Structures are given as C-alpha cells and as structure tokens.
Structure 1
Amino acid sequence: MDLERSPDQLIKAGLAALKHKDYGRAIALFQQLHQADDTSTAHRLKAQMGLIRVYAAQGATQQAQALCQPLLKNRSQTIRQWAQEQLHQLASTASQDAIESGANPSSTSGFVPEATGFIPLTPNNAAADVGENIATSPSSLFHYQTLNSERKLSAIDTHAHGSSAEANSSATPSPRQVAPAEKFNQPPPQPPRARASKVTTDDGPHQWPQGDRLSTLKSLGKVNGGPLWIAQLVTVPMLFFVVRWLWQVALAVIRSYLQFLDRLLPLDLRPASFFWQPHTWAVLICLSLLTIAAPWLWPLWLRPAETVTSTALEKYSPEAVQLLRRFCNKRRWPLPKIQLLTSDLPIIVSYGWRPRYGRLVVSQGLLDGLAPDELAAIIMYEMSHWSNWDWVFFSTHGLLLQSCHRVYWFLARWGESRPFILKNTAGTFATLSYGIFWLLAQVGCGLARTRIPYRDRSAAELTGNPNGLVRALAKLSLAMGKAVQTQGYTPPLLESLELMLPVSPDESTSIQQFAWGAFNPLRHWLSINQGHPPLGDRLYTLSAYGRHWRLKPSLNFAQLSLKQGPRHFSRRDWQTLLMQGGAWSGLVVGLGVALLMWLVGAIATSLDFPLLAWLHRDFSILVSMPLIGAATGQLLRINTFFPEIAPSLAAHESQLTIGQTNPKLTPLSSIPIKINGTLTGRPLLANWLGQEWRLRTSYGSIKLHHTSYFGPLSNLMGLNPLRNQSLQVTGWLRRGHHLWIDIERLRTPRNHITLAQHPSWSFTISFLLLGYGLWIMFRGG
C-alpha cells in the first residue's frame, strides 16, 4: 500500500478492486483506511461500509454482520436503516447475482444504492458524533450531482452492470436538477453530501426532498423596485438625524455636568462653544469616513481566522465557486475576498462600499451545515446585495451596531464580579449602550426587511435553484434557533449581526409550523418591528418561483393553500389589526380627530363663526387628543388581551403546538397556557431591561415577557434568582412574528409563587395618559 495516498484515493482504489472482484486487495485498502489514526469519521465510516460489502460478496457472513452491528447505533437514521437492510440480506439467502448487480432495495429515506451497495450519508447526523469538519473530494463511494453534466453515473461506476445504471439514474438528478450554465459545459463535480451540521435534527429541512432545479437560467420578469428605493430614501436620512440627536444629547449631558461642577467647585469649568453647536457637518463627515473605512474596521470586530481561497471553497461547493466567477466576470468585478470565522454558528455577512473593497464573511458552521447546492444558493443571496446601495448603508450601520453591542456585552460581563459600586456603574453604562443599540437597530429594521424579498428573487434567478435556497434558509434558521435553545439566550454575535444575516433564529421544522408566516393576513404588520419578513412567507414565495418554472418543490405549500384559502385582508382582519394596535391605533385616531377639529376651527374662523373659531387657535387639542386616543385604545384592548385564566387549567407542553401550527392566530388570540420548563436568560447585568427571558421545554425554547409590581424598575433584578431553575409558567400564549408567553404567574417546585402585573401596569399607564390628556385639554393653550 502507498501510505501517502489520500483517503479518497484509497476509497476509489478499494471500490475499483471490489468491482473487479479483487477482494483481497479491496479488504487491504479498506482496512488500511479504517484503522488509520488520522482518518476522519466520514472516511472511516465509508471504509467500514466497504468492508461489509466485500465480506458479503465473499460470503463471509459473520464478519459482515459484526461490522454492521456498530452501525445500528449510529446517529444517522439513514445509516441505521442501511445497516438493518444489510443484516436482513445477510441473514436471508440473497443470491450472489443480486449482490454483484447492486440490486439492493431503496432505503426508506428515498436514496437508491449504487452498484456497490452504498447509500449517501445524509447531512443531518452523519458526522455529528464528533462534530468534525469533513470535506471530501469528488472521488467517493456515493453518487452525487455534477454541475451542468448530462452523465447519469459518475466515473467510478463505468464498469457497473446495466441494471445498476438504471437504479442509480434515480439517485442522480435529472437535467432539471443540475446547476444552470450560461458558458460552462463541463464544470467540476460537487462533493458528496457527507457533511453534517453542528446542530442537527431528525426532522425538518435535513429530511426534505431535494426538489428540482433549472438546467438553463431563466428570468422571473421585471420587479417593482419602488418600495426598496423609498425605504432607502427614508432610512439613510433617519440614521443621520438619529446619530446627530444622540451626539447632541451626549454633549448636553456633558455640558450640564460641567456647569454643575462649575457651580460646585471654585474652578472655571464653563463649557466651550463646542458644546452648543449642532455639529451637522461633523456628524456627516464622521459617517462618511466610517463608510470608507468599513473594509478595514470590520475585521477588528469580527477577527476572522483566515482567508478562504477558491480552492478551499471548492471542496465544500464547486457550484459556489463557479457561480461566483460567473457573477463577478459578468460585472467585471474581482473575485471577493472570503474571510472565515471559527464560530459554529451559521454566519454569512458582507461589507464594503465598492466591490473591489468588499468582503464576504462566512463561518465554519455555515460551511459544515449546508449541502453544496444550498451553500451556493446562500452565497449568491449574499452577493446579490453588492449591486445595491443598501449594502453600503448596512456596512456603516452594522459598524455602529457592533460598537454599541460590544460595549454593552463587555461591560455587562466585566461588571459581574466587581464590587457593588463598579458593578452598578458597569450595569448602568451597559444598559445605556444597549438602549442606543436598540434604537439604531430599529432605524434599520424597515430597510433590512424590505430588501430581503428582492434578494431572494435575485438568488433564485442567479442559481436557478429556489429549492436550494429554501432548504438553506430553513437550515440556517433552525441551527440558529437550536443555538439559542442550547445557550439559553441569543448569542451576542447573532444579535449584533441580525439585520445583516439572511434569517433570524427559528425552531420551525415542518410545513405546518411555517404556515403562520405563509398564510396569516397580518403577518407583515405583526413583523413591522423585525429585521426579517416571516420565514414562512419567504419560503412560500420561493416555492412559488419554483411552481412558475414547473419545478418539483422541496417544501410543498399546495395542500395548505387549499385549506387556508386566500392570503389577502378581510374586514375582520382590519378590525383585529386596529385592536392589536391598541395605543398606536388610538394615537392615530386621536391625531386624526385633532386635525379635523383644527380644520373645523379654521373654516369657522374664515366664516366668522366664533362658537367654533377657538378650535383653530387652541393648539392644546393637537397634543391632548392623541394622548386621549392612545389611552382609550389601550384600555379597550386590556380585557381582550388578558382574559381570565381558570385555576383548573392543566399543564400541557403540547399546547405550544397550537401556537406553532395554527396560521390564524394573532397576539389577540391570548391562549391561556400552563407549562413546565427551565427558566433561562441573559446574565444579570446584561438583562437589566429584561431583554430576554426564555423557557426551555421539550418542545423548544419560547420567549417570556414579564412585568412585576414595580414595572420596568423591577427588571434590575427581575427573575434572576430563578434563572436556570425548573418552574411552572402560567400565562397567555401569543403568536406574532415569534411565539411568546406573557407571564401571569411563576411557580417553583417549592411552591413559591411570583405574580406578574402586566395587566395592572397596562391599566395604570393608560389611566395616567388619559388623565394627562384631559388636563392639557381643559387647561387650554
């Protein structure tokens, strides 16, 4: 044996020996690979499967059965099924002809074995036992797609029997499934789908069918870019004004402090004129410089481990490299520099202000977690940002968010072990930093949400593979959701990059759980403060692109469409939306009434009708009526929003399934729920505002909203004494963009009960607003 040969070369040689019935050489090759210390789990597994087939072909039933036994405990369902089939065949009197022709029955997962009897390793669990990064070259025991190739069989199967070719034709995609080409006829083949995500599941997108893809690129037609341009024209000035306002507030605080010290101490500390100026040009110049310096500042925050070359990326997805080259050559751009993060989280973002200075950032978790066609689809999704101005905006906006969030998280963790004064000082500044981060994030939410459907469409057109993007988005969202569940709160990297990521965390795994985002008429209104549209809506739209091109879908919404009916608004939906808006709906109505009264007063003044002319002169109406309207809207919503919970309500975790799968629910549905789980949340100083409390259950992790007797002030300690403890939560289950529970009470195993006061505080705030509005109105002005 040549010990310097790669594992793939040994596998290919062993496979060739098996096909030529050189069983001694095949056993030697497979055993060498199986027993080597530096062999990866995937290659060792392939060698073990090769030995089983060789022993079976020789008639060495006992040796083959002994090697099958460990595979029955493998985490991959497909591998277990394959091992069971082999044991069944070994125990039966299967003919030698059937073994040689590879006429093994299909596995229940839908994969058809090739001539040697092997099946593909599904990406859900194959290497999850050790979490290794497995990248294999085209030489493999398994069939795989080839880019733009009409061949039905790979080169290693050229000597197989005709019946084997017939069986494998179903395992190798039809021409509609291979990547589209404009100029390339014979690109390199894709590697086998043997890599497993760090976060895996037995259900969900890892088990969805492959679906079809175009063999030739097609356009979806012209699209109206008006909403995106409007969002950009609104968001860019808004960011400038918010940053300038924050700068002015900071200067005003410093100015007031210096004036206080000037009065207190015998020192001349009067503020200079600098503290009184608007600094409009200074803010504009700083933002411009930040934009230009973005390609050099981002690496300071993200700290990428290395640069990924085209050769290295090709090991994960040859299609991605080919599409990148085609995309850049067509626009006369240089190939982007790809930076690698060592994080297991599936991250992909990009930044820059010109393609020449642009950078694409991917994580190891992304490369390990996606199949080759899915990786190509998500990379082209991210590259489609580069042709638009919003890409430049988020490069700058993202730097501001990163800065605020890093300060918040550093101070929160640093202050945990400090003395009382330092601890509270750190907590105060950490909370202030998070408040600024939240405000800046809200500025960019609208534009981030608006641009995503355009990029989904572009990615589908660039790859001809909407099904690949469907599976990629669902896998990324699920992996992020699992990471949140495991850690107990959203990882800081995910939160700080959320507006630049393709998806947000979501633990949905089935089409029923995506139904809310696909069919609820209020889905976009209820996502108005989110940085991403509902994932179900995106998957539905991508599936619609596939139907337009007559492709077999990976996720079929057709049956749900018939059950749920149309997706447009009804009169009842508008009523629900107004009631859900509560204070905001009342604010708009109150402002409308105030403007109408002011207009009536103006007309009365022109007609010299003094009885109503005062309405035109009394500007207090423009302030009081919106306040009264907001308070009234909130009061009208309280009883519907917080219905009484029966004391006899039984605890059932399965109630979460209702919220996950019923597409007609809204936050107003207010389902009473009692559920057991473990309370998780951010560390003490990082959670002063009650940013994130979650309940970990066997059905997943669900967000909690909590308000106690002292309202927002209670969040300084909040539920921290109960963190990481098992308890029972009683409250109201609500479905909006995400699922959450408004807490009514918490019960610990020692029967200690903590009551929440959300309804009481809603009533108190509404009453105060109503009283203040009436006072302004009667005072006049």
Structure 2
Amino acid sequence: MSTQPSEFPHKAGRAQQAGGVLAIAKVAGNLALASGVTIALLFGMVLALCSALLLIVKSGNPALGLGIALVITIAFNAIAFFVSPWIMDLVQNWLYHTKWVSIEELERRSPESAHVIRRVCSLKKIKQPRIGIIDDQNPTAFTYGALPDSARLVVSAGLFTYLDDDEVATVYAHELGHIVHWDFAVMTMASTLIQIMYLIYIGVREVGRKLDDKAESAAAVVAMTAYVFYLVGTYLLLYLSRTREYFADHFAAETTGNPNALSRALVKIAYGILEESEKAKEPSRLIQGTRALGIYDAKAAVSTGSSYRISSQPEKVGRVFLWDLFNPWGWWLELSSTHPLTGKRVRALSNYAEQLGLDMEFDMGRVIAEGNQLSKQRLYGSFFTDLLFYCAEFLAIVVGLIVGAILAHGGMNAGKAFVAIPLLCLGIALLVKRTVMFPSSKNAPTSDIMTLMSDPYASPLRGKPVTLKGKVIGRGDAGYVFGSDMKLQDQTGMIYLLYASRWGPIGNFLAGMNKVKDLIGTQTTTKGWFRRGVAPWMDLELITTDSGKKHSSHPAFWSLVGGIICLAIAALLLVAKF
C-alpha cells in the first residue's frame, strides 16, 4: 500500500512581512562558539600529533621540524579548502548528473524560491550561488563550497514533486543560511582536519613497525592518541553539524517569515524519501552519498514519513515527535547523528512561529503538554542502568582488564589476569544483556506500526514483544539482492524486519537468496521485538504467511553462544596450571 496523503487540511499561517528578527531557540546552542571550539580543538589535536611525530623521528632540529610540519599542515588544509568545491563538482556530475540552471529556470519551477535567493543575496551582498538540480525524485537539498561567493546550492527534482512552492522556498532559505553563516566552509575545514588525524593514525602505526623497540613503543602511543583524537574530533564535527542545522532553520524562518512551511517541508521530505525507497530497486546513491550534507537525515524518515502517509492531520503527525522530545534515548542516539531529531527541529520552528504571533504547525503546544504528562519514572528510572547494558560488551572488557591488572599486580599469572578475567566479564555481560534485550515473547500482543512508533517510552535496548500483521513489500536493503532483512507494511506505516539466522552470515545469505524472495508480496503475521532508535525496527522471531508457512529467526542466539564460549574459555584458563 502506498497512498499519497491529502494536503494538510489547515496550514498554519505565515508572517505578513518577512525579515523579522527572531530569538534563536535555546536548543540550537551557539554556532560561533561551536565552530570556534571545534576548529580550535581540531587544530590543537593535529599540532599535538605533529609534535609527537617530530619526537619519534628524532629530528636534529625539532624547532625547524615543527615549523615545517605546521606549514605543511596549514598548506594542506588551505589547498583542500579551496580545491574541494571543484572536486565535489566532478563527483556531482559523475554520480548524479547534476544540471546547473539559471535563476530564471528555477523561477519557472518555484517563483518564491527565486525571489528568496535574489533578496538574500542582495541584502547580504553575496554572489548568487551556483544552482544545481539533480534528476532524482528523492527530495533533498544541500550546499557546499569554500567561500560564500563560490557556493553551490543543489536540490533534487523530488523537492518540487513533494513540496509546495512556499515550502520549497523555505528549503532554499535554509541552504542560503549555511552560505551566509559560512558553516559549510567550517565543516569542510573540520572534516579535513579529522581526516589528517586518521591518516596520522594509519601512517604512524605502519611506520612504527619498522623502528627500534623504544621508538616503536612511542609510535604506538602516538597512533593510539591519533585514533582517540579522531574519534573525539568526529563527535565534535557531529555536534557542529547539528548546531548549523538549527541555525539554518532559524535563518529560513527569519528570511521567509514562514517557519510553519519549513516544518511541513521537513515532514514531507521524510515522506518523499520513504515513498521513493519503496519504489526503488536499488538504494538511492543520492540519499546515501549526501546524507551528512542534506537538509534531512534519511535514516529518520521512517517514523515521520509513515505518520504523514496515514494522516496529514498535524496533531497525529505531531505525536510521533514525543519520542524525539522526551525520551532520553533520543538525546543519547542523537550524539552520533549529523542532524537534530526531527521533533526538536519542529519544536524550534514552532517557537519561531509563536514569536511571530502565528499558529503552530503540528499542534506542538499539545504535544509538549502531553510530553510533560509522561511518567518521568518510566522515562528515566532505568535509563542510566540501561545505558550500561547498552555498552555492556565494551564496559565488561574494560572492567575485566582493570581487575586483571589488579590481580596480576597481586601475583596472578598474566595470561589468566589479562585474558581469562576479561573473557569472564564479557561472557557474563553477553548473557545478562541478552535477557534484558529479549524478554519472553510467548504472549506478544498484536499492535500496529504507527502505535509502536508513537510510543514515547520505546527503547533501542529493551525490546517490546509484539505481533504485527502486514505485507512484506521488499528487502531491507533494496540494492542487495541476497539481503535477509525485510520491509513490512500495514495500514498505518512501514517498519524494517531484521532477520538473524542460527548459522550467522552464511545463514542470512542463504535466507536472503531462498526465503525472502518468496515472502515479498505476501501477507504475513510477524512476531518479534520492537525497538526504537533514530529509526524504528523489529528484531524478527517468527514470520508466518497466510498460507501457514513459517520462517524462524534467532536474534538472541549468538549472544547466548558467545556468552557461553567466553565463560568456557575463561574457566579453562583459570583452572589451567601454567
């Protein structure tokens, strides 16, 4: 089932005059601070690594060597900064066949968008960006470049298919916000610095193997430091990426006086991505390749797009945002996301609508009121404990190594202390986490997809046993012909079913080759564990066709096997005499 929803029965209005000054939403943070801190820290990390490298190679003149290293680092960044737009142009033409158009041609497609571009460029005294259109029905938009006067603003044809003219205009205004704020240039520089750190990690790790023992140990420390800096830098970049999206939304609201149109645009973009993913035989290279640059994170499209599909009534769409706004897992998982959660963006836009004296789209006032009535005990009572379970494998190894070090210091054999103890902790963690993730599904109640997606208490850790009835409409990864994961659709939405064989990857491959193709297009009853992250999914346990044919999945099997193996090896090592 794939139906085009009716238009919003009542669109919230817009300001009579654009260009008003709006107070930035608190959730947005501070773009200048985020940019400055990110770049300063990344440069500091690169400088520290370059200094460490000089010590390793035992330069005869460390000061001169440091100066040369700094010059090379800065020169490399400068070249990458200015050359990257042209490299991106080549990639655009090769992968997506971008068509570069004039402002007049854009005006024929979206009159208000052309007006917004002309007005913003005139007010900000910047050159009109180079305008590109990609012939792809997946709705998206992104900006790249080195300087505002050499920026490129690219959208897909799907944007004009799924959005109204005023909504398209707010998307263009959002992308212009990136240009005016120069944040796209900061992102280019920050990304380059992070790549330098990763290259240092790889290079030092390889070179260290060819040095003497003392230098090799020092190289190992530098390589590990480079990798830690790389991870920290990645999360700094993600934070900067989310912050810049908030500020671009704010700019669009001020520029157009129409924050409600951008709220609708975000929801319709999610719907369009969902629709196109179901039609496609292969995954969209455009959506995958521009996920970090695009206006919307395609990974989050399932819940928002599904809600718009079944009902264009704003209050029903708004209920899906409860999880984004109030569930602590939303905050945790957002840390590794390039974009803010949709509910948070819509809430900020609703704040701007309120400042302009407008009605709020999606009845966010009611959503917030409902969220404030949620049980704080259910939301936060076990969250921090669950967070430990969520990271159980990593924490178990760390704790095991610490305990092992203490025991080794007390006289225990090093092999037992640093191998057996961590394995013992890991085995226990795997078995305990398994019981938390997969509660009994014996009496799993029947539900529907939208009800599950609207559950503000849903967790990515504690699976909710549930039975769903619907049609298997395709593979989870449409581009992988042997994929074993599937997409299930009922009358209320779509969800991914994750299949797990007892035989691991080989079993998944065989299931994808033999079973899944027979299931596609059939009505089924599925049982498993529903989970909610940035995107919702279901760990499949049993799928039954209307003809009575059953297929089992075993998502908890390898946790059990892994835990038992770890405990067995640990026990053997502990009782062994050596």
Q: Same fold (TM over 0.5)?
A: yes
Aligned positions of 1:398-477 closer than 5 A:
448-477=241-270
Paired position in structure 2 for 1:219: 22
Once the two structures are TM-superposed, the CA of residue 759 in structure 1 deviates from its matched residue by: 0.9
Quickly say closer, same or farther: Cα 1:612–1:709, change in 2 above 3 A. Answer: closer
Paired position in structure 1 for 2:168: 375
CA contact (8 A) 2:144 2:184 kept: no
Aligned positions of 1:286-301 closer than 5 A:
291=84, 293-301=86-94
Please identify, of 627-636 and 714-723, the stretch whose mean Cα deviation from structure 2 is larger.
Answer: 627-636
Paired position in structure 2 for 1:202: 6
Paired position in structure 2 for 1:730: 527
Once the two structures are TM-superposed, the CA of residue 287 in structure 1 deviates from its matched residue by: 6.0
Paired position in structure 2 for 1:676: 470
Aligned positions of 1:490-639 closer than 5 A:
490-503=283-296, 504=298, 505-506=301-302, 507=305, 508-509=307-308, 510-565=317-372, 573=380, 575-579=382-386, 582=389, 584-585=391-392, 587-588=394-395, 591=398, 594-595=401-402, 613-614=409-410, 628-639=424-435
Once the two structures are TM-superposed, the CA of residue 334 in structure 1 deviates from its matched residue by: 1.0
> In structure 2, what residue type is equivalent to 1:342?
D
CA contact (8 A) 2:140 2:294 kept: yes
Once the two structures are TM-superposed, the CA of residue 629 in structure 1 deviates from its matched residue by: 4.5
> In structure 2, what residue type is equivalent to 1:681?
R
The alignment partner of 1:343 has SS state of coil
Paired position in structure 2 for 1:359: 152
1:73-109 CA-partner distances (Å, limit 9, x unpaired): xxxxxxxxxxxxxxxxxxxxxxxxxxxxxxxxxxxxx
> In structure 2, what residue type is equivalent to 1:293?
W
2:563 equivalent to 1:766 = yes
CA contact (8 A) 2:450 2:493 kept: no
Once the two structures are TM-superposed, the CA of residue 720 in structure 1 deviates from its matched residue by: 3.5
Q: State how far apart, in whole Å, the 2-side matches of 1:290 and 1:629 are.
A: 50
Q: State how far apart, in whole Å, the 1-side matches of 2:95 and 2:45 are.
A: 26
Quickly say closer, same or farther: Cα 1:284–1:776, change in 2 above 3 A. Answer: farther
The alignment partner of 1:555 has SS state of helix
CA contact (8 A) 2:81 2:188 kept: no
The alignment partner of 1:672 has SS state of strand
Q: State how far apart, in whole Å, the 1-side matches of 2:423 and 2:236 are.
A: 24
Once the two structures are TM-superposed, the CA of residue 735 in structure 1 deviates from its matched residue by: 2.1
Q: State how far apart, in whole Å, the 2-side matches of 1:677 and 1:331 are.
A: 52
Aligned positions of 1:40-189 closer than 5 A:
none
Quickly say closer, same or farther: Cα 1:231–1:379, change in 2 above 3 A. Answer: same
Aligned positions of 1:325-404 closer than 5 A:
325-386=118-179, 387-391=181-185, 393=187
1:627-648 CA-partner distances (Å, limit 9, x unpaired): 555543332222232122236x
The alignment partner of 2:442 has SS state of coil
1:247-275 CA-partner distances (Å, limit 9, x unpaired): xxxxxxxxxxxxxxxxxxxxxxxxxxxxx
> In structure 2, what residue type is equivalent to 1:200?
Q
Q: State how far apart, in whole Å, the 1-side matches of 2:86 and 2:44 are.
A: 20
Quickly say closer, same or farther: Cα 1:537–1:567, change in 2 above 3 A. Answer: farther
The alignment partner of 2:138 has SS state of coil
1:359-412 CA-partner distances (Å, limit 9, x unpaired): 1112222123322322221112112223335556469979xx9xxxxxxxxxxx
2:444 equivalent to 1:641 = no
- Select which of 483, 488, 510 maps to 1:695: 488
- Select which of 478, 487, 490 maps to 2:280: 487
Q: State how far apart, in whole Å, the 2-side matches of 1:297 and 1:679 are.
A: 36
Query: Going by fraction, where is helix more abundant, 1 or 2?
Result: 2
Q: State how far apart, in whole Å, the 2-side matches of 1:207 and 1:238 are.
A: 53
1:19-67 CA-partner distances (Å, limit 9, x unpaired): xxxxxxxxxxxxxxxxxxxxxxxxxxxxxxxxxxxxxxxxxxxxxxxxx
> In structure 1, what residue type is equivalent to 2:480?
A
1:573-603 CA-partner distances (Å, limit 9, x unpaired): 26235325535145336536755886xx6xx
1:511-553 CA-partner distances (Å, limit 9, x unpaired): 1223222332321213444443321222122212322443221
Paired position in structure 1 for 2:217: none
Once the two structures are TM-superposed, the CA of residue 321 in structure 1 deviates from its matched residue by: 2.8
1:318-337 CA-partner distances (Å, limit 9, x unpaired): 44333323433344321011
Q: State how far apart, in whole Å, the 1-side matches of 2:247 and 2:425 are.
A: 37
Quickly say closer, same or farther: Cα 1:612–1:713, change in 2 above 3 A. Answer: closer
Once the two structures are TM-superposed, the CA of residue 703 in structure 1 deviates from its matched residue by: 0.7
Quickly say closer, same or farther: Cα 1:292–1:538, change in 2 above 3 A. Answer: closer
The TM-score with structure 1 as length reference comes to 0.54
Q: State how far apart, in whole Å, the 1-side matches of 2:526 and 2:45 are.
A: 40
Quickly say closer, same or farther: Cα 1:463–1:679, change in 2 above 3 A. Answer: closer
Paired position in structure 2 for 1:190: none
The alignment partner of 1:686 has SS state of coil
Paired position in structure 1 for 2:221: none
Q: State how far apart, in whole Å, the 2-side matches of 1:289 and 1:471 are.
A: 35
The TM-score with structure 2 as length reference comes to 0.71
Paired position in structure 1 for 2:52: none
Q: State how far apart, in whole Å, the 1-side matches of 2:124 and 2:422 are.
A: 52
- Select which of 290, 295, 312 maps to 2:105: 312
Q: State how far apart, in whole Å, the 2-side matches of 1:392 and 1:705 are.
A: 38
Q: State how far apart, in whole Å, the 1-side matches of 2:420 and 2:354 are.
A: 53
> In structure 2, what residue type is equivalent to 1:535?
T
Once the two structures are TM-superposed, the CA of residue 489 in structure 1 deviates from its matched residue by: 6.9
CA contact (8 A) 1:214 1:465 kept: no
The alignment partner of 1:213 has SS state of coil
Q: State how far apart, in whole Å, the 2-side matches of 1:574 and 1:237 are.
A: 39
Once the two structures are TM-superposed, the CA of residue 778 in structure 1 deviates from its matched residue by: 8.2
> In structure 2, what residue type is equivalent to 1:741?
M
Once the two structures are TM-superposed, the CA of residue 680 in structure 1 deviates from its matched residue by: 0.8
Paired position in structure 2 for 1:255: none
2:480 equivalent to 1:686 = yes
Q: State how far apart, in whole Å, the 2-side matches of 1:550 and 1:768 are.
A: 63
> In structure 1, what residue type is equivalent to 2:278?
Q
Quickly say closer, same or farther: Cα 1:780–1:663, change in 2 above 3 A. Answer: farther
> In structure 2, what residue type is equivalent to 1:321?
A
Q: State how far apart, in whole Å, the 1-side matches of 2:114 and 2:125 are.
A: 16
CA contact (8 A) 2:488 2:494 kept: yes
Structure number with greater CO (CA < 8 Å, separation at least 6) is: 2
> In structure 2, what residue type is equivalent to 1:734?
R
Paired position in structure 2 for 1:437: none
Paired position in structure 2 for 1:21: none
The alignment partner of 2:100 has SS state of strand
Q: Which runs of 5+ in 1 are unaligned?
A: 1-197, 240-279, 402-439, 602-610
CA contact (8 A) 1:373 1:468 kept: yes
CA contact (8 A) 1:235 1:444 kept: no
Give the length in aligned residue pairs: 490
Which of structures 1 and 2 has the bigger CA Rg?
1
Task: Indicate the percent of aligned positions where both proteins have the same amino acid.
Answer: 21
